[in-house]
Structure 1
């Protein structure tokens, strides 16, 4: 009898479903996410002789180079920037120079610099000399064209004569000589050059916010195409015959942008393509740099969709994708003859691998793994998530749930993107992964006003800052609470730029929704924000007024005051952290000072970080690490997530340096109207 009972017990155990409890991955060092990459930003020279990339040199991200066939151990540094990391660069068309732009402390007044990679290193710096091609103070340089047929020339804009408008210059790379081609007295925002480097069109932004495409005739501009302030239109290169212009537009009755051909001679347009699935805006036309034929078109949906126009290239790319299963393949820089390409392969749980691809020989050479030290197995799935807003509008979003935890009663971080006329896209997101590793669910909504989903969705955000755009965040929280995924008492919000504004709006207009909030360079007062826009934003000012509200009218000013978090700062009860770059040209430090002082004066908790060497967001890794260690501790305190308690000495010292005592902040308003001057 005992044998039978024992056997029955064993059989019952074997028949029962096995429950394997997933384990939460270990806490990953924040440096893995926010420290300097070992290697990043790889490009290949147009002649294929060199591979260049970004890597720390003397503690700051700089440009390095090696011969294409050499190992990375043979690479040598080309730049020795110490005050600010190099964020991006490009090659001249003849491969003689590497060019990059740099500002001062995040002020976005960029100058252009050139390096000859064949020159020997200066013993004093360890790198070849860097030449300043534009060495100007308080001037912002923009680059319009890098013509293939004129490799010693690039076309740039300088706003040295009038801070609002960029005059057109020809810049000679070998000497730094600048030649003024046109004074910008007609509100020109862009100049359009063809394959031969000939200037064919200008793009004007009118005082009413409309965009006009102008053919450049010998003695005049001729209007050939226009779209109004609530429509989108932009050029995307010339066709293979160098006659017609690719135009992406949603003018007139169109909702989703489509690809059209524009004839500059007549202004006539012909429709080429729109999304076959009728879901998203046109995503781009990819042209051959060798002969300008169309290789494929693409759409950014829940992942990229491609539609090939060249069968030979399709065969080559399909082979490439077959070598990288489960990864999203992105094409990067390529040689002039397209014999070699830089490609990346990534996923939502993989920052990516970088390769050199030879499509003719069908070979693939691994270069490096992006943030190689991050264990891929510890990362969390980031998936599309949809929900309804207050008025029934469908909101597309991305939801990351922490690996190894049941999807119930989780703490949540809402992370609205900046812009707001931008879009969160599918793929690896380091901030979301960092938060998920700490045990938080992360919601990243593409709220109304986001780009990519059509004109109606974009325009649904007009005049809705702090209103329906904010509802789109609130109803995302409600949906996750309703299905049991999220604990309603442990919801936080963290955002940068517009996302920072949405953070402040969240804790003022829905004061009981959030238990912690972090505003990074977000405007608190929409009246002063629009008053203090940089001068070179003049061309887009009317569009900003149309989409937000016009401060020059009584009605618009009233809307801005009502939507300003500063107006209702007394309603803030949520613990708040504010982060600001002192040199921010987009969101003046006054915006942060005002809200910090107001919350302080109301006796509510507020923490304040100000980096003296940063602008609109932090570029220096040491500042990022200091900020993230503070944010991590702040969220853990109020939401209960995990926290890496050890902080390296240099990061701790930097955090001490950028912490500001709220009692020392001047900025409390003396009037109920947020446009009033702050008290001194």
Structure 2
């Protein structure tokens, strides 16, 4: 058991603070600079609040959602309209709503049953027009529609020829699209709906993950794209649309391009980021580099924490910046920066109750996997206890083509506060480390992708940090699969497993993807496998195939309306566990999809998981 007398010196953080809705999130300055909007709970549900920019305390809620809350919103550039997106109980069939800020009148402009809305383009140069993708006419393809914000008219402007994505310039003209070849490679097309689209660049499957379109300059003469063709990592290029000349602008030998900052007026690139252990910025515009340096000086003078920096410039003059600082051991700090005046004002913390909380620092680590591959990750350790033989939870990220990043994380803080080392591994198949690393995960679910997790445990146990006999595994989506795989394939390595919306059968998973994923199906099958031609291997890699070998307690949770990983993935393995009389718990959330959005459901889930981990690993639990 944990050394209770020592550890009790650290205050137990309530789950309601860590997993409830943020008190403040997503601040946004209106295009005319007069208003500040943000997300905050209203009668227990996340809604949009708006007030004068210089008086955020005077804000009031302008939306009245009473169900799942609003998470995606923004100001329209006509200075009189707010937009937001909502789905129904997690089905991801997003509908677009418009709110007149003067009258308060609200309307749904895409009220179609079973149809997903994609907001593709809207900007200050065409303030009353918006381009949307809708799979209204064909469920597997999003056609292009133009919405007139004044009249409300919605008109189809381009029928989708088979694209998974579009190339649209700042004048809202379709300039091309993105499709996938039969082998999972990517094809970038140029052209127009009037003259047709022609293939411009064929990207092999091994390069498809980190290669793609990034934007046009304001005058449409330059196209920005990333590509790893001819190198291990993706680099940023610019194409001269008149001559076809392509020039490399930025790259790193070990890490892919991550973020790109565009000049709000010219839409030329000003900076590029690479996510290493921490985020690293490379500046292509000397003036912006100076301004970013002055911002950092202002943050230091204001006592801002050491954290990752995010800058958003929605206000059309470009002089008012939304700035977010994310430390790993503190809440997000949200600021407004008046660039010309060099004036910085703290708006709020996303969770003020965490401002003086005993949070733990996130620390990078790396190790050599059993086949010699270098793998990176992060650990978050409990405070005020010796780092010797501590219980641990391997917290596996989803995707799998994603990665853990340094910064504030509610689950990492919760696990550390309860007495566990939170182990987050960027196993092979994770993105950001170059194509060799991500491609090393192709069709290796439950194999090397899984043994990377085991090797991380062995590495930390050899250092003496964790007790290899007290390790649990948990995760959501692919992380849920990894938890089930840990229980089925290597039950001797873990004391318990927690799987949220995790696939249990790769054959049924790949046969039940949403219709609108069809244009990218070849890419998915190149990464995971083809259920028509690789049935035996995929079944062998499915936790359900080894359910009889599960010998540890398992907690399974799933949303009934999950469109990505169907609830049948949970039901299959729960029935098998019941049939075999194996220890398990099952939580079904009737009003959720892929993940848990409603605060009450998150409280139910984390309460159950906390009790489950305390029972099997010996950590602390809130009553």
TM-score, normalised to structure 2's length?
Answer: 0.95
Deviates more, 1:314-323 or 1:619-628: 314-323
Matches within 5 A, 1:2-401: 24-72=9-57, 74-119=58-103, 128-184=104-160, 186-217=161-192, 218-232=194-208, 233-239=211-217, 241-251=219-229, 253-265=230-242, 267-275=244-252, 278-325=253-300, 326-401=306-381
Is the CA contact 2:98–2:106 (under 8 Å) kept in the aligned structure 1? yes
Distance 1:377 1:311 in 2: 39
Residues 1:414 and 2:414 are matched in the alignment: no
Deviates more, 1:210-219 or 1:168-177: 210-219
Instruction: Structure 1 unaligned segments of length 5 or more: list them.
Output: 1-20, 120-127, 646-680
Is the CA contact 2:227–2:235 (under 8 Å) kept in the aligned structure 1? yes
SS in 1 for 2:220: coil
SS in 1 for 2:92: coil
**May I ask how many residue pairs the two structures share in their alignment?**
610
State the 1:196 CA deviation: 2.1
Distance 1:88 1:333 in 2: 17
State the 1:146 CA deviation: 0.9
Is the CA contact 1:224–1:266 (under 8 Å) kept in the aligned structure 2? no
Matches within 5 A, 1:431-442: 431-442=411-422
Is the CA contact 1:39–1:54 (under 8 Å) kept in the aligned structure 2? yes
State the 1:197 CA deviation: 2.1
Distance 2:447 2:212 in 1: 30
Deviates more, 1:304-313 or 1:477-486: 304-313
Is the CA contact 1:214–1:224 (under 8 Å) kept in the aligned structure 2? yes
Flag the 1:222–1:263 CA change in 2: closer, same or farther, 3 A: farther
Distance 1:509 1:625 in 2: 30
Instruction: Structure 2 unaligned segments of length 5 or more: list them.
Output: 1-5, 301-305
SS in 1 for 2:331: strand
Is the CA contact 2:321–2:338 (under 8 Å) kept in the aligned structure 1? yes
Match of 1:462 among 421, 426, 442: 442
Match of 2:425 among 438, 445, 461: 445
Is the CA contact 1:206–1:539 (under 8 Å) kept in the aligned structure 2? no
In structure 1, the residue matched to 2:486 is 506
Matches within 5 A, 1:606-645: 606-645=584-623
State the 1:129 CA deviation: 2.9
State the 1:270 CA deviation: 1.9
Residues 1:472 and 2:452 are matched in the alignment: yes
State the 1:375 CA deviation: 4.3
Deviates more, 1:418-427 or 1:218-227: 218-227
Is the CA contact 2:331–2:355 (under 8 Å) kept in the aligned structure 1? no
Distance 2:219 2:149 in 1: 28
Match of 1:573 among 540, 551, 557: 551
Distance 2:349 2:491 in 1: 43
Is the CA contact 2:479–2:502 (under 8 Å) kept in the aligned structure 1? yes
Please list the CA deviations of residues 161-189 of structure 1 after superposition, one character each: whole Å capped at 9, or x if unmatched.
111111111111233211011222x2112
Please list the CA deviations of residues 196-254 of structure 1 after superposition, one character each: whole Å capped at 9, or x if unmatched.
22222222223432222222144221221121222132111113542121111112x21
In structure 2, the residue matched to 1:593 is 571
Flag the 1:174–1:38 CA change in 2: closer, same or farther, 3 A: same
Distance 1:518 1:288 in 2: 44
Distance 1:459 1:483 in 2: 29
Please list the CA deviations of residues 134-169 of structure 1 after superposition, one character each: whole Å capped at 9, or x if unmatched.
101001111211133221111111112111111111
Deviates more, 1:608-617 or 1:261-270: 261-270
Deviates more, 1:129-138 or 1:442-451: 129-138
Is the CA contact 1:349–1:376 (under 8 Å) kept in the aligned structure 2? no
Please list the CA deviations of residues 53-101 of structure 1 after superposition, one character each: whole Å capped at 9, or x if unmatched.
01111221001100111141x1111111111110121111222211111
In structure 2, the residue matched to 1:674 is none
State the 1:310 CA deviation: 2.5
In structure 1, the residue matched to 2:506 is 526
Distance 2:281 2:561 in 1: 41
SS in 2 for 1:615: coil
State the 1:316 CA deviation: 2.1
Higher relative contact order (CA 8 A, sep 6+): 2
SS in 1 for 2:499: strand
State the 1:377 CA deviation: 4.8
State the 1:626 CA deviation: 1.0
Is the CA contact 1:408–1:485 (under 8 Å) kept in the aligned structure 2? yes
SS in 2 for 1:334: coil
SS in 2 for 1:488: strand
In structure 2, the residue matched to 1:16 is none
Distance 1:301 1:290 in 2: 30
Distance 2:448 2:471 in 1: 20
TM-score, normalised to structure 1's length?
Answer: 0.88
Deviates more, 1:327-336 or 1:423-432: 327-336
SS in 1 for 2:475: strand
Distance 1:475 1:95 in 2: 54
Please list the CA deviations of residues 546-588 of structure 1 after superposition, one character each: whole Å capped at 9, or x if unmatched.
11111111xx111100000000000001100000000000010
Is the CA contact 2:218–2:265 (under 8 Å) kept in the aligned structure 1? no
Cα RMSD (Å): 1.5
Distance 1:168 1:293 in 2: 26
Match of 2:405 among 422, 425, 428: 425
Distance 1:111 1:501 in 2: 30
State the 1:194 CA deviation: 1.6
